[in-house]
């Protein structure tokens, strides 16, 4: 396999033919617990999270735990479609935030204070979605390029990027271009890739 779409198809096939929804649910719980127990979560002042889609590791408990522990939480809002540059921004959320269905049907904050990873001395943790990851922490997303474009704007030393993934999303190597941003850590139900 050489192209990203081939890898995306393999993960979708593995997801459809492999584990049952119950097993995925059990593994997702393990992954979320591992992340919540990590120093990256515990020490973060701000968590840049995302509203998970159906087949992704659910992020709702992470978001709620962060808010209850006094952390600030930001979620992405798409401001331009792929055809116009695939741009997004992050807005702070809280228990009163109202959400709208955005691009791909993903829940986005309707409004909120805009924040960025360039926030002074704050310890920033960014959770990033993806379909495929490899042992070098390369990532294949869904093809829009939103996260690659967004994160490329900032000094990577200012934040830590974590991906949560099922073991069947991990490959020995995936194709990566110079502009494809790596993650700093991948947490699966079986291991930490860091």
Q: What is the CATH number of the domain that holds 22?
A: 3.40.50.10420
Under the banding of pLDDT at 50, 70 and 90, the label for residue 164 is very high
pLDDT at 1 over 60: no
Examine residue 91 and state whether it is found in any structural domain, yes or no. no
Q: What angle do CA 100, 106, 111 make, to 5 degrees?
A: 35
In the prediction, which pLDDT does 187 show?
97
**pLDDT > 90: percent of the chain:** 52
In the prediction, which pLDDT does 62 show?
97
In the prediction, which pLDDT does 16 show?
64
Q: What are phi and psi of 5, to 5 degrees?
A: -65, -30
In the prediction, which pLDDT does 21 show?
62
How many Cβ atoms from other residues are within 10 Å of residue 48's Cβ?
23
Convert the pLDDT of each residue in 115-154 to its tens digit. Answer: 998 877 789 999 999 998 999 999 988 878 888 888 888 8
Q: What is the mean pLDDT of the chain?
A: 88
What is the pTM for the complete model shown?
0.90
Examine residue 118 and state whether it is found in any structural domain, yes or no. no
In the prediction, which pLDDT does 118 show?
85
Convert the pLDDT of each residue in 73-112 to its tens digit. Answer: 999 999 887 778 888 999 999 989 999 998 778 899 988 9
Contact 95, 137 (CB under 8 A): no
Examine residue 61 and state whether it is found in any structural domain, yes or no. yes
pLDDT at 163 over 70: yes
Number of structural domains in the chain? 1
Examine residue 101 and state whether it is found in any structural domain, yes or no. no
β-bridge mates for residue 78, sequence order: 88
Range of the domain at 140: 4-72+124-189
Examine residue 132 and state whether it is found in any structural domain, yes or no. yes
Q: How far apart are CA 137 and CA 193, in angstroms?
A: 7
pLDDT at 31 over 70: yes
Examine residue 49 and state whether it is found in any structural domain, yes or no. yes
**List of residues 6+ apart from 67 with CB closer than 8 A:** 73, 93, 94, 95
Convert the pLDDT of each residue in 169-180 to its tens digit. Answer: 998 988 887 767
Examine residue 35 and state whether it is found in any structural domain, yes or no. yes
Give the torsion sign (CA, 106, 166, 41, 150).
Answer: negative
Examine residue 119 and state whether it is found in any structural domain, yes or no. no
Q: Report H helices in 37-153.
A: 39-43, 60-68, 146-151
Rounded mean pLDDT, 16-42:
86
Q: What angle do CA 12, 41, 128 make, to 5 degrees?
A: 30
């Amino acid at each position: 396999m050489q192209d990203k779409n081939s890898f995306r198809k393999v993960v979708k096939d593995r997801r459809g033919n492999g584990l049952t929804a119950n097993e995925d649910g059990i593994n997702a719980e393990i992954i979320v617990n591992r992340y919540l127990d990590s120093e990256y979560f515990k020490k973060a002042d701000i968590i840049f999270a995302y509203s998970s889609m159906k087949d992704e590791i659910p992020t709702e408990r992470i978001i709620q735990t962060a808010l209850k522990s006094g952390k600030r939480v930001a979620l992405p809002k798409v401001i331009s479609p792929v055809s116009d540059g695939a741009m997004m921004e992050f807005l702070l959320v809280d228990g009163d935030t109202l959400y709208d269905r955005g691009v791909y049907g993903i829940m986005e904050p309707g409004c909120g204070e805009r924040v960025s990873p360039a926030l002074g001395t704050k310890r920033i943790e960014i959770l990033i979605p993806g379909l495929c990851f490899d042992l070098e922490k390369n990532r294949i997303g869904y093809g829009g390029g939103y996260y690659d474009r967004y994160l490329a704007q900032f000094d990577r030393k200012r934040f830590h990027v974590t991906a949560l993934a099922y073991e069947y999303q991990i490959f020995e190597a995936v194709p990566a271009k110079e502009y494809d941003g790596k993650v700093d850590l991948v947490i699966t139900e079986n291991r930490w890739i860091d």
